[in-house]
């Protein structure tokens, strides 16, 4: 099987997407609806590694390239709990951009990883994200709109993905997304939980 080519992605977040969603549903039928509950582990020290846990499996992706303002991420590590202390020390904490704490267990369950290593660390947050995702195909792009609960806070996201950045730009224009900020899950979550400053704060400081 040929290796999958990582896709470039445009992603944005808003309280509601109104006309954007209306256009999306007029252009193409919804092909799939998926729901999931995930835990994102976010770090004040890292913006290049996206660490999430779903179904007791950890998935870490690393930002490898930006083209035309769109990001491309590649798998860095996948592993199922319980995770070995060696994996946590050599793979997980380096991805989070911080030194590993002392590890007193040989293996860590999901609960012990979160409660013993993540929650006590001042630079880390364990964030619950519920997703209800609606998938479409527009101009060959994988397009989705999703209803999210991020630590209980309701918000929506729209994503457009493909290996071809020109096709992504065309879909952005078609859906009326030109004025929306391009921001990935990692940074959006960090803003919501207070690990990254929201840009509009600067306007209040002038």
What domains, with CATH codes, occur in the chain? 8-205 (2.40.320.10)
Q: What is the pLDDT of residue 199?
A: 78
Q: What is the pLDDT of residue 2?
A: 45
The tens digit of pLDDT for each residue in 118-173 reads 999 999 999 999 999 999 999 999 999 999 999 999 999 999 999 999 999 999 99
The CA dihedral of 174, 129, 74, 133, to the nearest 10 degrees, is -40
Q: What is the pLDDT of residue 1?
A: 36
Q: State how far the alpha carbon of 93 is from the alpha carbons of 19, 74, 90, in Å.
A: 41, 18, 7
**Pick from 73, 68, 82, 78: nearest CA to 112:** 82
Alpha carbons 132 and 71: distance in angstroms, whole number: 23
Residue with tokens 């991020």: 150
Q: What is the pLDDT of residue 19?
A: 96
Q: Which residues of the chain have pLDDT under 70?
A: 1-4, 201-206
Q: What is the pLDDT of residue 6?
A: 87
Instruction: Judge whether 52 and 39 are in contact, CB under 8 Å.
Output: yes
Alpha carbons 45 and 140: distance in angstroms, whole number: 36
Which secondary-structure segment (H or E) carries 1? none
Q: Is the pTM of this model over 0.95?
A: no
- The residues facing 71 across adjacent strands are 9, 66
């Amino acid at each position: 099987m040929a290796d999958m080519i990582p896709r470039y992605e445009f992603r944005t977040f808003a309280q509601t997407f109104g006309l954007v969603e209306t256009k999306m549903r007029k252009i193409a039928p919804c092909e799939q609806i998926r729901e999931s509950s995930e835990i994102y582990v976010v770090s004040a020290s890292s913006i290049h590694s996206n660490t999430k846990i779903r179904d007791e499996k950890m998935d870490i992706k690393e930002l490898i390239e930006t083209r035309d303002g769109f990001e491309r991420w590649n798998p860095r590590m996948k592993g199922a709990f319980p995770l070995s202390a060696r994996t946590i020390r050599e793979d997980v904490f380096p991805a989070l951009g911080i030194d590993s704490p002392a590890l007193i267990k040989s293996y860590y369950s999901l609960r012990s990883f979160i409660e013993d290593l993540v929650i006590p660390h001042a630079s880390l947050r364990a964030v619950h994200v519920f997703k209800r995702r609606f998938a479409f195909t527009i101009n060959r792009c994988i397009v989705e709109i999703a209803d999210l609960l991020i630590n209980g806070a309701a918000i929506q996201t729209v994503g457009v993905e493909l290996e071809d950045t020109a096709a992504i730009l065309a879909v952005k224009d078609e859906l009326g997304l030109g004025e929306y900020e391009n921001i990935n899950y990692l940074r959006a979550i960090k803003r919501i939980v207070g690990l990254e400053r929201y840009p509009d704060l600067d306007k209040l400081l002038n």
